[in-house]
Structure 1
Amino acid sequence: MAKEIERKFLVRSDEWRTRAVSSAKLMQAYITVNEDRNVRVRLIDGTSARLTIKVGKSAMVRDEFEYEIPVQDAEELTSSAIGIVIEKVRHRVPIAGKTFEIDVYEGFYSGLVVAEVELESEEDHFERPSWLGEEVTGDRRYSNMMLATNDLASELIHGVSHQAL
């Protein structure tokens, strides 16, 4: 069983862009959601797809199971998604031995920019780059599952024009 341990932050500037080593366009749809578990499908650059099952109530640590699936299956599952299909471009930015994933949202949540860093343990330390803003790890509104199943655009995007687009 794989554990996902991550912290999540808003992004305050686009300084990270010069250090990005890769980018991928993601479409993410939720097939089923529950308070402590969800199943999602993700299309990556329209050329590959993954099915992910996450279990756990903690905002920082959850069990995660991920499997490659055929793109055609992912497209069909996306068409029966619950709520909003999340569209974003994910950029990978290495900083001092850790990789930050910067999600620049498009479509419904255009203007929202969030950074995640995966950790080895809850006590794991990392260098905090100057472009990281407020930590939102415990704020469930910033979980992709909540973004997909609730219309939070006006609440989360209002006033983010200073953030990286």
Structure 2
Amino acid sequence: MAIEIERKFLVNKDLLPLPNDGKKLIQGYIWSYPQKSLRIRIAGEKAFLTIKAGNDILKRSEFEYEIPMTDAHELLDLCDAKIEKTRYLIPMDSYTWEVDVFHGDNQGLIVAEIELASSEEQIQLPEWIDQEVSNDPKYLNVSLIENPFIKW
């Protein structure tokens, strides 16, 4: 079983110069419940099916499989709504920060995520981190589809 341990933060966009090489992501959820979800994602030239499960937002089981692009498009058509964002990878120390700049109904939201080896692992936060939102479910992508940032 693959376990994902991830912390999530809001970004101060004035302090973060983004790299030029972001990757466009489009994703939707076939189904989602508080403890589990089935996500379809197109990331650049590849497509993935991802199952996430667990009660702890910080630490969940994650299973991800590459799928054919044609299947991904057909599965995304089954989703009621989609989320679009551009992801930038920012290496820092021995980590890689994933910074997501959201589009559409979530325009204006910028979130940084970092995956850790354990939930107790301590990290040095870069100056462009504004505040941690790891435990706030409204920042989960599945929540942003149901209640987008523009409605807050």
TM-score by length of structure 2 reads 0.94
1:125 Cα offset (Å): 1.5
1:117 Cα offset (Å): 0.5
- 2:129 corresponds in structure 1 to 132
Residue of structure 2 aligned with 1:116, choices 96, 113, 120: 113
1:43 Cα offset (Å): 0.5
Residue of structure 2 aligned with 1:61, choices 45, 53, 59: 59
Structure 1's unaligned 5+ residue stretches are 156-165
- Partner-residue secondary structure (3-state), 1:115: strand
Give the conservation status (yes or no) of the 8 Å contact 1:21–1:92.
no
- Distance change >3 Å, CA 60–CA 85, structure 1 → 2: same
Structure-to-structure mapping, 1:12-161, within 5 angstroms: 12-17=12-17, 20=19, 22-45=21-44, 47-82=45-80, 84-155=81-152
Aligned AA for 1:153? I
Identity of aligned residues (%): 42
Aligned AA for 1:16? L
1:14 Cα offset (Å): 4.3
TM-score by length of structure 1 reads 0.87
Take 1:14 and 1:54, find their aligned partners in 2: how far apart are those partners?
A: 33
Give the conservation status (yes or no) of the 8 Å contact 1:95–1:127.
no
- Partner-residue secondary structure (3-state), 2:123: coil
- Partner-residue secondary structure (3-state), 2:144: helix
- Partner-residue secondary structure (3-state), 1:56: strand
- Following TM superposition, the consecutive aligned residue runs of length 4 or more in structure 1 with deviations greater than 4 angstroms are none
1:17 Cα offset (Å): 2.8
Task: State the superposition RMSD in angstroms.
Answer: 1.4
1:108 Cα offset (Å): 1.6
Take 1:152 and 1:104, find their aligned partners in 2: how far apart are those partners?
A: 12
Take 1:125 and 1:131, find their aligned partners in 2: how far apart are those partners?
A: 17
Aligned length: 152
